[in-house]
Amino acid sequence: VTLYKVILVPMIFIALYYFFFREGNIFYLWLGIDNHLIYKLNSNVMDATPSFVHVYSFSLITWLALGKKRIAFSILLWSSINLLFEVGQTANKVNFVSLPSFVENYFSYGVFSWLDIIAIFLAAISAYITILLYRQKLNDE
């Protein structure tokens, strides 16, 4: 299994998850179709999966883009971004005048979840382990 497959497969899965099951997703709104599939995979764990995939995949992509250097930076960058967005959802009563509208909407309508926080930390650990295993595989070859 190549590192690119380890990155792309979860991202494709999450793209399909957003397309078919995420409430208020842009595809259904744009097409004017009622999202009847949303309740089929309705679970808190499944709802936290995008947070895991974002941190995991984007950490690996950033690490690759930086020439396979700066492991901690890559992982901390995406963990911090996701944590910021997750914690920002707790402040839904705050006026976000200075933020772009898509960020304001995300904070205003998003729902804070401890499972997302856990998923972010598990993804960071998983990305780190993946990088270590990948490096060891390269050294063994």
Query: Over the stretch 93-125, which tens digit does the pLDDT of each residue have?
Result: 566 567 777 677 777 777 889 999 999 999 999
Amino acid at 128: Y
What is the Cα–Cα distance from 50 to 55, expressed in whole angstroms? 9
Q: Taking residues 33-47, what's their average pLDDT?
A: 64
Contacts of 71 (CB under 8 A, 6+ apart): 63, 128, 131
CA atoms of 66 and 101, how far apart (whole Å): 31
Residue 128 has which token pair?
A: 């780190």
pLDDT at 17: 77
The pLDDT of residue 135:
92
Contacts for 14 with CB less than 8 Å, ≥ 6 apart: 49, 50, 53, 54
Q: Which residue has the higher pLDDT, 17 or 26?
A: 17
pLDDT (0 to 100) of residue 68:
92
pLDDT digits (tens, 9 = 90+) for 55-97: 999 999 999 999 999 999 999 999 999 999 898 888 755 665 6
d(CA 49, CA 55): 10
Does 13 or 29 have the greater pLDDT score?
13
By the 10 Å C-beta count (0-12 exposed, 13-18 middle, 19+ buried), 61 is classed as: middle
* pLDDT score recorded for residue 41: 57
Q: What is the largest CA-CA distance in the chain?
A: 55
Q: Give how far the C-alpha of residue 125 lies from the chain's centroid of Cα atoms, to the nearest Å.
A: 14
**What's the average model confidence in pLDDT over 121-137?**
96
